[in-house]
Amino acid sequence: MNDNISGWNTWSAAIEDWSDVTISELHGLMTGLMTACYAPDAAGWASVLEELSFAPLPTEALTLLTEEAEDTVFVLKDKDDAYGFTPLVPDDEHDLYERVMALKQWSNGFMTGFGITDCQISSDEKEMLTYLAKIGAIRLEMDDEFDGGEESYLELYEFARMVPISFATRKRKAVKDLALISGLAIDAKTTKERQAEEKRAKPMPPVIDIMNQDNPS
């Protein structure tokens, strides 16, 4: 997809003075969150980025992120529309190295974004995340040839594109309720779980064996 149509050029201009992560990694992080959460407002995104130790986004970029998240949730929640989803990476006018690196960064961003949702995953989803992590682990120097060239890149791109489409059917939660934002540890137990543990740990009252008691004379 052309850089002007995909929004690549718009994002490039918006975060020109922000360099905590790349455009693709930020888009991947947003997508990972939006497969499991409702789109938050700008303040919600500011909280997420702050908790992840990122510098504040410029106002224009924060607005763009907020709007992009709303669009992404709208697209992904509909099975038919979802197939139109595309990761934000540079178009084929860019060098293959740059596109491979952007896809690697997008994949890592998705892993981070989805990871902080603390969602249960199926065996199929686990397998997809394992493969996506391999894309995120690609090592390639600028002068190296990418194994398989364009064809291999397109296969990886299509796989990465299908991950959020496959993940987006789950019930969504509010970003403010995520453990990252609410201040709870990721493995924090719910009130119901704590009550159940307390009940199991509480000693049972002594059982009075009436049959063995001495009868009064």
pLDDT tens digit string along 128-141?
999 999 999 999 88
Residue type, 127: E
Round the CA-based radius of gyration of the chain to a whole number and report it.
24
Q: Looking at the domain assignment, is residue 200 inside a domain? A: no
Task: Assign 169 to helix, strand or coil.
Answer: coil
As a whole number of angstroms, the distance between CA 85 and CA 94 comes to 21
Q: Looking at the domain assignment, is residue 142 inside a domain? A: yes
Q: Looking at the domain assignment, is residue 55 inside a domain? A: yes
Q: Looking at the domain assignment, is residue 216 inside a domain? A: no
Place of tokens 């291999």: 152
Q: Would you state the pLDDT for residue 194?
A: 42
Q: Looking at the domain assignment, is residue 207 inside a domain? A: no
Sign of torsion over alpha carbons 139, 145, 147, 153 = positive
Give the mean pLDDT of 87-111. Answer: 95
> What would the two tokens of residue 107 be?
């994949």
Q: Would you state the pLDDT for residue 187?
A: 44
Residue type, 101: M
Cβ partners under 8 Å of residue 76, min gap 6: 34, 35, 82, 85, 164, 165, 168
Domain containing 138 equals 3-184
pLDDT at 185 over 80: no
pLDDT at 209 over 80: no
Q: Looking at the domain assignment, is residue 214 inside a domain? A: no
pLDDT tens digit string along 17-57?
898 999 999 999 999 999 999 999 999 999 999 999 999 99
| 196 confidence band (pLDDT: 50, 70, 90) | low
pLDDT at 103 over 80: yes
As a whole number of angstroms, the distance between CA 166 and CA 76 comes to 9
* Number of domain units in the chain: 1
Q: Would you state the pLDDT for residue 65?
A: 97
Query: Percent of the chain beyond pLDDT 90?
Result: 66
Q: Cβ(28)–Cβ(107) under 8 Å? A: yes
What is the length of the chain? 217
Q: Looking at the domain assignment, is residue 17 inside a domain? A: yes
pTM of the model: 0.81
Residue 151: phi and psi, rounded to 5, are -65, -45
CATH of the domain at 102: 1.20.120.740
| 147 confidence band (pLDDT: 50, 70, 90) | confident
Q: Looking at the domain assignment, is residue 120 inside a domain? A: yes
Give the mean pLDDT of 98-110. Answer: 96
pLDDT tens digit string along 154-176?
999 999 999 999 998 888 999 99
Place of tokens 């360099």: 19
Number of Cβ within a 10 Å radius of residue 143: 6
Range list of H helices, 77-116: 79-82, 96-115
pLDDT at 3 over 80: no
As a whole number of angstroms, the distance between CA 176 and CA 43 comes to 10
As a whole number of angstroms, the distance between CA 115 and CA 15 comes to 24
How far, CA to CA in Å, does 74 sit from each of 116, 139, 206?
21, 34, 59
